[in-house]
Amino acid sequence: MHIRVVFAGRNYDRTQAVPARLELPDEATLEDALEDLQTLLAGKGIELPQSCLVAVSGVHLGTLRAHQAHPLCDGDELLLLAPVAGG
């Protein structure tokens, strides 16, 4: 299956070298996708903050640190939103 990956928020521009789509096994879950992404990013010296929000096809599932288990379907969109704070 293929899923679309979207990064937004703090330092999203550093993730431009990561493919916009991931190819995963048919029975893949959110956890599988996140592990693959974190491996790809680590190879480029990028680490996503654990406070990064996670949503699949418009459904918020938590953060990288604490998210709900969720099966993936071909064509899903995985959104990772790194919160921005400041004043």
Q: Which domains does the chain have, with CATH numbers?
A: 2-82 (3.10.20.30)
Entry field: residues in the chain? 87
Q: Cα–Cα distance between 66 and 48 in angstroms, integer?
A: 14
Read off the pTM.
0.88
Chain segment 12-32, per-residue pLDDT in tens: 777 777 788 999 999 999 999
Q: Cα–Cα distance between 14 and 42 in angstroms, integer?
A: 12
Chain segment 29-53, per-residue pLDDT in tens: 999 999 999 898 888 888 888 999 9
Task: State whether residue 23 is helix, strand or coil.
Answer: strand
Provide the total of helices (H) and of strands (E) in the chain, helices listed first: 1, 5
Count the Cβ atoms, other than its own, within 10 Å of residue 67. 18
Q: Cα–Cα distance between 1 and 21 in angstroms, integer?
A: 10
